[in-house]
Structure 1
């Protein structure tokens, strides 16, 4: 590598190097790129907004990779959490309930259930569409459905890539909170 108007540095370039750059100057280049675009790594502690453990480290500090909350900033206690409506799917024995709530933790705590299966962002209109979609297996006058292939496939699609539905919900709330601050 040439430094300014000077001659090449003269250090050996590793045979497997993708660029004709010595190891020392490769580190200088990497540090420059990492400073400009950030470096993804584990946060020193979970994000105060969404609980995510992954962050992007810039020279100016850490930012949560999920909700972009600046690490170290305390959430404003007087700010009300944003309203994020979800359609929830819970299992109890061999039945599945499709409901909606803007406070799913409190709502689901009131229900008999064995497992929270999935969340889908949306409110009453989406819930009504899902009730219609799976109406053939609905238990009359309830929001409970018999387990069946179409419903199972729908829930599996919602769960694809989601290890914890509560983490997904927290990320939606965090994003809504971050958006409200703009």
Structure 2
């Protein structure tokens, strides 16, 4: 079998059999470094993000960014700034009923409501909450924010939960993103 040589200008080094391109190991490494400098490399952060706690980051030649909230690793978190306001529509289950409500302080609000399970969060304010109440009006218990757990409501909640193991982690990401934007 004939040995393939690197196609880079002036290079006569052999190409490894498994190489995806006709480039020697050194030229493949140079190409990979070039792509990494342009697109960043997703990897585990050296330490958890100080803003959102994520361990996933993107390494750039200029430093690390958190892959979740884009906080620059090493930047100080300004503890004097108030936390940003992030309004959410929440879905709580109690037995066979679901409460659809809204708040900017979900930990306090949910602590005050008797419930079995936090089903989901959806980013939005009273306007979105009103639209959800209208959408599921047929399941609503009169003059309350409680709804019968119907197939349609279950499907909507399942859509919100898709890929989300813990609604609180989603809320934390929204807060950290809002903080990073400041």
- How is 1:135-174 mapped onto 2 (pairs within 5 angstroms)? 135-174=137-176
Q: Which residue of the other structure, out of 27, 32, 35, is the alignment partner of 1:33?
A: 35
Q: Counterpart of 1:85?
A: 87
**1:25-46, Cα deviation, whole Å (9 max, x unpaired):** 2112212321232110111222
Q: Counterpart of 1:101?
A: 103
SS of alignment partner, residue 108 of structure 1: helix
Contact 2:7 2:23 in 1 (8 A): no
Structure 1: segments with no counterpart, 5+ residues: none
Structure 2 vs 1, CA of residues 20 and 105 (structure 1 numbering), >3 Å: closer, same or farther? same
Using the size of structure 2 for normalisation, the TM-score is 0.90
Q: Counterpart of 2:3?
A: none
Using the size of structure 1 for normalisation, the TM-score is 0.90
Runs ≥4 in structure 1, deviation > 4 angstroms? 1-4
| CA shift for structure 1 position 60 | 2.3
- How is 1:19-58 mapped onto 2 (pairs within 5 angstroms)? 19-58=21-60
| CA shift for structure 1 position 87 | 0.3
Q: Number of matched residues?
A: 177
**1:10-63, Cα deviation, whole Å (9 max, x unpaired):** 322022322110112211221232123211011122212222221101122210
Structure 2: segments with no counterpart, 5+ residues: 1-5
Q: Counterpart of 1:117?
A: 119
